[in-house]
A and B are shown apart, each in its own frame.
Chain A
Amino acid sequence: MISKDINSFEKVEMGGKIINVPYPTDIPAYKFIGRERIIEKALAAWTCIDGTSPLNFRLYGPPGIGKNALVYELARILNKDLYIINGHEELGPEDIACSATMTSKNTIEYVASPLFAAMLRGGIFFFDEIGKAPQSALDPLASVLDDRRSLTSVLAGIRLKAHPDFLCCAALNEDEETGIGLPGFIDERTRPAIYVGYPYVSEIDEILMSRMKAIPDAWMRALLSDFKHVNLSARNTLTLLQFAYGLSIKEKGISATLSENEIKEYLSKAYKHIKDGDEDQKKEHESNLKKSSETYSAGLFAGHSAVENKETVH
């Protein structure tokens, strides 16, 4: 593994130009839990059989479900360096290949992208939130993700052929995958598309135990019993627990012993805060609806859902 220093770049000479190549990303040290089947799938995609190139898979699923953690784990399993780019609306093609910067001496220096570095050194390149990148930024990827496995930087005037050990994957949210989707040429080149769903309650339990050692067990138990039927991502679960525990410390102090009901109350209070943004609006609708219909409903049709539409065919 290359020694890492986040404040500096390795200077590499290529085609008579000095290029600053970034070091790999630091992989968080926490223990990875579960997801064996998805890891199996991802590793299968990267397996080269009969001389074929490794496939560039993409992971998709609800936010906070552990897609990034999964890629970290893959890097750990394969003992490879990991290079990450985050997709966003302002991303340009030069951010994907090679950009330039001004030095204090008023000269231009080239800065390689994490993709460039991964291709040069044979690491894993992970394009996080690929669905948020504009199509123009993704254009340089076309030649990287197919059999050519090469990257061209117009700015630096360099064409880089990928190291044979170079591997690539991407991640995007479920909405982006199922709705508008990726541009056709990226969609074609990032297969298989592997779905990452909600973890099992038992896995959530283990994640919480390993990541939240300071929080008493009673909190974990209350959370798992009360929220087992709610689809919570690992990230939301951790936030919920931290937030609820923080609330209790603020109100009752760190040494207070809380009853199960009190813990559950704090949890539901915290849950209200982290529910998705639509909820408040929904609530408003519901309260309006209640106001308008409570005079009339009088128990008629009790048990029937209120979400129905009538259709008239003309």
Chain B
Amino acid sequence: MITTALKTTKKQYVKHKRFENLCVIPYIRGRLVFAELAARALEEDEFRRVAVDFPFFMNNDGLLNNAVQSMPFAGSLLIKKDSGTFYSIPFVPNDAACITVAAVQMLKKDGISIEMKCIDDSQVINYPQESLMQTEINITDDYLVFTDGLDNFFGPLYRRLDQSLSECSKDQSFFSEYRAGIVAERLAGLLRQGGKTLFVCEYRLWSLVSRILESGSTRRGNGFHFIWKDLKAAMVIEDPYRFWAHGLLDDYPFTVEQFYNKFKLGSVRLFDKLECIEDLVKNTCQKSARKKKASLSVRRLISFYAYLRARMTGAGHLTPQPLTHLYEAAYSCLGKKIAQDIAKEFLRYPVPERSRIKGYLTIREDRIFTLDRKFMVPDLSEYRYFNTGGVRHSFDNRQDGDYPPEHLIAFVYRTDPAADRSIAESLGRATMSWAIQSDYLIHEAACRHLRSMINRKRRHEVPQKSMGRMRKGIQWKKTISSKALGEDAIYVRMNSRAQKVLEKKMDEYTPVVFIFTNNFKNHGGSAIHDSNITQRKMDLGVPEHSLNSYPPPDYVYSVFHTFSRGDWYYKRHVEKRLLSSITFLYTRHVMGLQRYAAIMKRNARFQCRTHPWSDPEIARFPLQETGAAWAVKYAEHTVIVAAIDSWKPSRELKEYASTKGVRIYTISLSKFKPDFIDRMRNLYFTSTQVKTHPDADRIMERFIN
């Protein structure tokens, strides 16, 4: 449904005029479709020999075995240069060279005689930076390789490459030709030995190598020599989400893992990236709908697919881009929840539990061997790579208006167990529980909406057919319509029933109760208080003797909630409760001292200092009505209850409200969006340590969204 049926050719090579025994797969680094081509070639055809464009020093079985064994984890050979910069050679299943190495290792294990050579220049890691970062060329959707063929796909790219090479600096031209000369010489040497040879080579390098092979002169034209200095290196297992964000794990990490699983089973032919994405979307939508996490109508699904396809078509893509197409279309057509679920699914990728560094190495010209000396491995952002051709992704660096602010969530950090562990360990033992402000902002918005709905009703006038009385004057619109329809009556304006009922004005002190369910079995209850400066400092653990000159400690309750269960995270530093009801005596979002001060401005009758369960007046009510009864006790004239449709106040509650002179105004919870209610039902608490942590907002953001 994402892309209409396509006629594809999945097994392809580029042939060379001068060498019949040579099959070439030019590839773009880190792009899955080329890895698929290479894996298929080795799975379905017989080759005597395989050459890849890894540096020559990587012709080390131990190193290659190690790198291959760590797959599908996202690994890299990290090389520390003398200048203090770091250069990385990624080891990921979505890279054609890496999967070729893995395939050869597998064939060898199965007893098949096949030879493998890394034939790039070892010195490539010492080339000046500007020549390492090769000319940038914008690449269209690489899935077109399967529909257009390798030659047609790379044809326009080669033409643009020729043009950009003619414009590049002397250094760049020199190093490009020098490197291609070495590769061509080594490749020609292999080809002369006879036997069918597969060469998997980065497309820009292949363009130059191909020309040298065509010219027939593969001897190096210049006598340039580097003075070699030993370089330190390390095999590192990376955070796959960060790798993805850097464009090194293709568009969808999930599809990379699927591909690798098929590869391990020897059935790459059964893999298709587009089908895989299609299945992912369908399954996620189904799962979300089944869990009733989101409303998913056929109409919405049709809008989603139509919009997604229009976005892809507009960008000239067969494969949807993960953020700008898929996530965005899901977000705007299916809603936040499903979009998040889809994003979580497509980012799913194995993360190792073991240590990040797998071993330290030394590179000495064409050799690489183990080293005992360690060095500081930097953050991924400090690495340099060859251009990958992949798109960099980030949920943080949004363009204007891409996603609403609450969507700036770092999914990419969400499942990094090492980071979670280290922060949680640094926090120590959790003490106290503190409510968080973003919850209060949501509550304030909900209460404000309820009040505005009621105020709208209060102002609402209904037209009524006049029997002689003019009430509040003629309703012209209805009267003219009546004449046009032949009724010929006069309609007058009159107050609605709601207007009479809701004569009293409501403000932030009007208590609001939300009742989300009618099942309160095994639910707990809890109240939140806000305190004066003395109590607050005591709560925060200030020694008592320093508080001698302070007023007596005091606090007031303003929020009561009942909940079914609490989930704990971060070694009990963060708690999430699923609410069954919540009551607010004060509805603005301010917290702590400000909230206390706002409540203290009111008459003492409306200030609550007794927990609802310790108050005999309230304790007699069942749990499902505790919040409402508590609200009635401290209300001035009205309590607003937003509840599920089946909720009705009991006779006891009505009588209690009547003795207090309070009116209970009920509104259906269905007036709110399900997404909004789901968010409201989650109430978060943090420990004092998280509350005062410099990264508190970021830590909480991961849980809240």
Contact = CB atoms under 8 A, between A and B. Distances in A.
B673 A192 contact: no
B400 A203 contact: yes
Contact of B533 (A89, A146, A297): A297
A60 to B, nearest CB: 8
B533 A199 contact: no
B531 interface: yes
A180 B594 contact: no
Contacts of B302: 52
Nearest to A38: B401
A31 interface: no
Given A310-B434, A314-B525, A108 B311 contact: no
A114 interface: no
B300 A191 contact: yes
A157 B96 CA distance: 67
Nearest to A278: B588
Contact of B540 (A49, A108, A301): A301
Contacts of A179: 445-446, 449, 672-673, 676
B692 to A, nearest CB: 7
B433 to A, nearest CB: 4
B578 to A, nearest CB: 15
Contacts of B328: 41
A307 B589 CA distance: 9
Interface in A295-311: 296-297, 300-301, 304-311
Interface in A197-242: 197-200, 203
A121 interface: no
B550 interface: yes
Contact of B526 (A35, A286, A313): A313
Contact of A301 (B333, B537, B549): B537
Contacts of B481: 94, 99-100, 155
Contacts of B537: 300-301
A47 interface: yes
B469 interface: no
A94 B435 contact: no
A45 B613 CA distance: 54
Contacts of B672: 179-181
Contact of A155 (B460, B484, B525, B613): B484
A92 interface: yes
A265 interface: no
B434 A311 contact: yes
A312 B528 contact: yes
A293 interface: yes
Interface residues of A, number: 71
Size category of the B interface is 35 or more
B449 A196 contact: no
B90 to A, nearest CB: 30
A297 B401 CA distance: 42
Contacts of A311: 432-435, 526, 528-529, 685
Contacts of A49: 306, 309-310, 313
A34 interface: yes
The A contact surface, by secondary structure, is mixed
Given A49-B306, A312-B527, A314-B527, A100 B400 contact: no
Contact of A296 (B297, B534, B555): B534
B313 A110 contact: no
Contacts of B480: 99-102, 108
B402 A308 contact: no
B392 to A, nearest CB: 16
Contact of A192 (B4, B333, B546): B333
B528 A293 contact: no
B463 to A, nearest CB: 9
Contacts of A304: 540, 692
A293 B524 CA distance: 35
Given A188-B297, A306-B594, A175 B399 contact: no
Contacts of A57: 332
A79 interface: no
Interface stretch (B21-29, B38-46, B137-145, B595-603): B595-603
B534 to A, nearest CB: 7
Contact of B307 (A35, A55, A292, A296): A55
A199 B399 CA distance: 9
Interface in B256-306: 297, 299-300, 302-304, 306
Given A99-B481, A296-B549, A310-B529, A286 B594 contact: yes
A103 to B, nearest CB: 11
Interface in A91-128: 92, 94, 99-102, 108, 110
A195 B449 CA distance: 20
Contact of A100 (B4, B329, B484, B549): B484
A237 to B, nearest CB: 14
A157 to B, nearest CB: 9
Interface in A263-314: 282, 285-286, 288-289, 292-293, 296-297, 300-301, 304-314
Given A41-B328, A191-B300, A200 B594 contact: no
A192 B437 contact: no
Given A44-B311, A309-B435, 11 more contacts: A47-B314, A55-B307, A146-B299, A179-B445, A179-B672, A180-B676, A191-B304, A285-B594, A289-B594, A309-B529, A310-B529
27 contacts: A35-B400, A37-B401, A38-B400, A40-B311, A41-B311, A43-B314, A44-B310, A47-B310, A47-B314, A49-B313, A108-B484, A155-B484, A178-B445, A180-B449, A188-B300, A194-B401, A197-B405, A282-B590, A293-B593, A307-B437, A307-B590, A308-B592, A308-B691, A310-B528, A310-B535, A311-B685, A314-B614
Interface of A: 34-35, 37-38, 40-41, 43-45, 47, 49-50, 52, 55, 57, 61, 89, 92, 94, 99-102, 108, 110, 146, 154-156, 174-175, 178-181, 187-189, 191-200, 203, 282, 285-286, 288-289, 292-293, 296-297, 300-301, 304-314
Interface of B: 4, 297, 299-300, 302-304, 306-307, 309-311, 313-314, 328-329, 332-333, 399-405, 432-435, 437, 445-446, 449, 453, 456, 459-460, 477, 480-481, 483-485, 524-537, 539-540, 542, 546, 549-551, 555, 559, 590-595, 597-598, 601, 611, 613-614, 671-673, 675-676, 685, 691-692
- 10 shortest A-B CB distances, which residue pairs? A192-B332, A181-B673, A197-B401, A44-B310, A100-B484, A308-B592, A191-B303, A47-B310, A309-B435, A307-B591
